[in-house]
Amino acid sequence: MAIPGSVPVAEAVDRGQVRKVALSGLLGTVIEYYDFLLYSTMAALVFGSLYFPGSDPALATIAAFGTLAAGYVARPLGGLLFGHFGDKIGRKSALVTSMVLMGVASVLIGVLPTYSSIGLTAPVLLVLLRCVQGIAVGGEYGGAALMVIEHADSRRRGAWVGIMQAGSPLGSLLSNGAVALVTMLPHEDFVSWGWRIPFLASAILLIIGLYVRLSVVESPLFKQAMEKAEKRETLPLLKVLRHPRAVLLACAAGIGPFAMTALIGSHSVAYAKGLGYDLPDIMRAHLLISLAGLIGIPLFSALSDRIGRRRVLLIGATGAVLFAFPMYALLGMRTVPAMIAALVIAQVFQNLMYAPLAPMLSEMFGTRVRYTGVSLGYQMASLIGAGFTPMIAAALVAGTGGSSLPLSCIIVGAVGISVLSVLMISETRGRDLGETP
């Protein structure tokens, strides 16, 4: 299903430009997710004690996950803000701005004083910078995905956007790798200054990403839509909301994979520590999770070009529901191989659900509102599926004496919502992005 607002265009593909746009999208996504997921990991490891000191470590961790949620709350705002300007002014300028915002916010977190130095000002500034990160991520994904898709030919949209989406696990891989390195420091050094190094290193990624992103050209579909339009929509959001079914279904489709991301990528660090796993073992397991995603996401995204977006997502959803309870049973065995198996298998099912989202959501909206529609649907899904999930999960585990049953139920419920929504969406593979519905 699509929203009116697109303009019919002839498909003409410049493969060299598609490759450059895909590389730009990859680097942009790497930067955004490196910084965003780095914060998630540090929230589980040190932010509780450094910015929310108290006598109860569990409450401090819950408070730290609360700041994590603040970033997710800000993501839909970023989606609306960048979507508006991306649909009115252009995709490229919006993407450059989002990249700069993320890089600057992360470097500032790396130099932020702790509670012991400046008191309550420290957690307030931490939350503020986390919100800036959320706004930046809110503008990145939708724009990067549709830039690639609007340059690519209809038969290989999934394959090309899969390269861009590989930035998510690659950013996670770099983030986990950086954390794994600094956690090798003596514990006192890691807590004192070592945790800051990965945040400061994001400046290097920012410089590389900006160099590539500034060299790409504007989306040809967007340029043709603006040339042929009699007038530009004053508020693309209003046009999207005139057809709310599409954006609601887009949001619901992403809730399941985002909930799994929150549990596998963020909460599992604190949960595994509570079970007695050593931190270096946990971080090595997370490196393997990132490697699985680096292979799985491009593969499954390309697969959706052949068998359809809906089918790939539904295969992943079925596996996720069936594995929701065995996953935590394996973690409860308290052996490193069992932990690795649990997290990697769960990640594969998450990748099957996540990989088709970018092409599917992009094919659900017309050109003149695509940035707004994709960003709003995707970021609302991230807020509902992942924003409060680590905090809720930590509270449920603490409140039930360590039971994993609520965690499995979260997976089943969230994935069930995605299944229901996907069953209500008609197959989008191969849809003409330039046609007027």
Least confident of 59-63, 295-299, 325-329, 418-422: 59-63
Q: Where are the chain's structural domains?
A: 15-423
Q: Which residue has the higher pLDDT, 333 or 215?
A: 333
Question: 334-344, pLDDT tens digit by residue?
Answer: 999 999 999 99
At 208 the three-state DSSP class reads helix
DSSP states along 310-378: HHHHHHHHHHHHHHHHHHHHHHTT--HHHHHHHHHHHHHHHHHHHTTHHHHHHTTS-GGGHHHHHHHHH
CA distances from 75 to 67, 98, 335, 380 (A): 13, 11, 36, 8
DSSP 8-state assignment for residue 156: S
Q: Look over the chain and give the mean of its residue pLDDT values, rounded to a whole number.
A: 85
Does residue 42 contact residue 202 with C-beta atoms inside 8 Å?
A: no
Cα 72–Cα 245–Cα 98 angle in degrees, nearest 5: 35
What fold characterizes domain 15-423?
Growth Hormone; Chain: A; (1.20.1250)
- pLDDT at position 418 is 97
- For residues 282 and 335, what is the distance between their CA atoms, to the nearest angstrom? 11
Rounded to the nearest 5°, which phi and psi values hold at 155? -80, -15
Q: Taking Cα atoms as reference points, which of 58, 316, 48 lies closest to residue 191?
A: 48
Q: What is the pTM of this model?
A: 0.81
- For residues 414 and 257, what is the distance between their CA atoms, to the nearest angstrom? 8
Please report where in the chains the tokens 């504007």 appear, as a residue: 218
Q: Sort residue 334 into left (φ over 0), alpha (ψ -120 to 50) or beta.
A: left
Classify each residue of 159-184 as buried b or exposed e, where b means 16 or more C-beta atoms within 10 Å of its C-beta: bbbbbbbbbbbbbbbbbbbbbbebbe
Mean predicted confidence (pLDDT) in 387-414: 91
Task: State CA 120 to chain mean position distance.
Answer: 29
Rounded to the nearest 5°, which phi and psi values hold at 138? -60, -30
Band of residue 4 on the pLDDT scale cut at 50, 70, 90: very low
Question: 204-232, pLDDT tens digit by residue?
Answer: 988 988 888 888 877 777 777 776 665 55
Please tell me which of 25-34, 271-280, 332-341, 375-384 the model is most confident about, judged by mean pLDDT: 332-341
